[in-house]
Structure 1
Amino acid sequence: MNPARSIQIPVIDSTRCTGCGWCVPTCHLHLLSLQAQGWRKFSTLHDADRCVGCRKCEVRCPFGAITMAPAMTGA
C-alpha cells in the first residue's frame, strides 16, 4: 500500500481556454484532450490520478488557462 502523496495537477480555466490544443500533445501520458461544448472546444484533464505534475501543459498554454493546484492521491 502506497502512502498518500501530494502533487500538483493541472486545473483548466475554461473561460480562458481557447481550445487551441497546444497542451494536448505535451502530455506524455495522454491525459488531456479537447472537448466540445456547443460551438466551443476546451481542454479537459482525464484520469487526474495518473498525472505526475510535470507542468508541461501549464508551460505550453499560450493563454494562461492552465494552472497547477495541489491534489491528494493515494492507493
Structure 2
Amino acid sequence: MKNLRPVPKPEINTARCTGCGWCVPTCNLHLLSLENLGWKKFSVLSDIDACTGCKKCAVRCPFDAITMRELQG
C-alpha cells in the first residue's frame, strides 16, 4: 500500500544559500551536493523522490536556506 501521508521534502532557497556545504554531509543518502551557478555555489538536491524527509539538512543549515515543504504525490 502506498503511503498517502505527504512526506516533507527540502526546498533550498538559493537567495539564502551561501554554498557553505554544511548540509551536504548530513544527508545519509548522499542526495545533496554543491554545484556552481555562475560564480557562486549552491546546495542542490539530486533526487527529491529518494529523500526520506528526515530534516537533518534543514536543521544543520546555519542560514535557514532549507525549509521542509509537504509535497502531494
**SS where residue 6 of structure 1 aligns?**
coil
Alignment correspondent of 1:23: 23
- TM-score, scaled relative to structure 1: 0.90
Size of the aligned set, in residue pairs, is 73
Alignment correspondent of 2:55: 55
**SS where residue 34 of structure 1 aligns?**
strand
Alignment correspondent of 1:14: 14
Q: Could you tell me which amino acid in structure 2 is paired with residue 19 of structure 1? A: G
- Identical-residue share of aligned pairs (%): 60
- TM-score, scaled relative to structure 2: 0.92
Between Structure 1 and Structure 2, the one with more strand by share is 1
- Output one character per residue of 1:18-59: Cα deviation in whole Å (capped at 9) or x when no partner: 000000000000110001011100001111001111000000
**SS where residue 7 of structure 2 aligns?**
strand
The whole-number CA distance in structure 1 between the counterparts of 2:13 and 2:43 is: 9
The whole-number CA distance in structure 2 between the counterparts of 1:13 and 1:3 is: 27
